Structure 1
């Protein structure tokens, strides 16, 4: 049985995935904003999580059909309510909804903000998880979507506001141009991810972009109606080994596998795990020790004597023509 923290993270991931769908369907530049408020001084510390976007219109039915997998999770921390604020580009009114997932009334909306509150004993741990999740989101450099993340810590009526992402001028935040393919954008984003979030922490010596070795692969399944247009993109980035003592000490025997499903970070499915286990790694001079999967479904490969400073893998499973969410227009 998954713990309560995993349940809250499941809701967060699903709201992000829905927002990305709306942004992609809009066909224009879209802003996706994540905001977190931490209330530390309450008897039970809590967190207010907000996910907003400027994508296409939707309906409450889209949220009502969320597969929360209630049989797998404890839901003691969250009361099940989603608060939604929305307006359409063609109307003056701003609509506010408090959605109980058991109700059946729905209304069309355009541009969406959804938030919910949860009790979290360790708010810092949750914020750290969200920051890492958003950093993974940026790896895909999804065309037409700009992502914001901010956190407010509320203590004794005082508010401390922090931004965890740099200014949008940073190349890491800029969506890929339309002329760049999805796999090229993901490969470039994975390089940025390594240089920005690993360069100073894990690989002590200076690693330059030109030092990285990059490989890309692409597979599609067009043979059956069920899987028509289903695409798998894979990017691998290697930081080569060096004789410098500092880099040898920083060499890692693990590889993080970033898995994406339909343009959003996702837990890795059994099919992908089986594919990783089935690769003849010794052919490439590598010996896989084991694959570890954490409570959120994210995978790490453990190696025996990895002859590299570091290796990262990104896998993206998606459909060429993205399915339209329920109720969009």
Structure 2
């Protein structure tokens, strides 16, 4: 049954811009002001995290908005300590809204004597008192099984499909969706299916981690508008190399749609000088000034889908309904 209390939002310091945007969208849907809980999330001089909540949360349905992006360890500790504070303050239920789930790339043992850090982080989240997780585009879908609590994994592909139709209009029949590696074919196929596009793959072979030795395009990209799709762009080395290889294979334009723009180190400079005509990312990670000022990087909002997902969880209604084109189009009405 739906809860009688109102959903309450609290945010750490990882991405307050997104948290405020989610609160504004929820206010529009509810027809009443939904604000972030009055609280402070600060550091002591030795960098220990301290949380103090100034409002009563007894019996409330709480949603902590906190991606575990750079600095991943600090933001993760903020999430855990906020959860503990709410649990000890008798909140009825606490849901962690983690737009970007850090440590997701460490989801299996690739060699001897290495950790499965994603599982460890899942254990920490559950032990802190969180009862549900809402996230977007987990690096590996099986990470949902690392949790002993419900996990709702939203997808960026429906949002990307709306954006592509808005940006390319009558040129949609010229688009080919490209997966930058074999492991991402499922994600690329999902987007290609949504927009009725052809599919291609970039096969890459590594000599050692972080270095790509050889890339080959599998599929016809001649005179096509190629859309490279992936979940994470970190240093952008692989992405920019893939764009170069696709362009050499005859593509007329190369664009990239990436869910989580980590964009660390030389990433923005590489993208600016690359063969990419545009890089589109979401705001699951707070963009830096360098990202905002880049001429060929564009950001699409996730606040509308997260706001509706939070309301659906609070109401006890379907979250998967948000993957439907008609439903999402209504949520993003006015933006596309």
TM (norm. structure 1) is 0.31
Q: Which has the higher contact order (CA 8 A, sep 6+)?
A: 1
Bigger helix fraction? 2
Bigger strand fraction? 1
TM (norm. structure 2) is 0.30
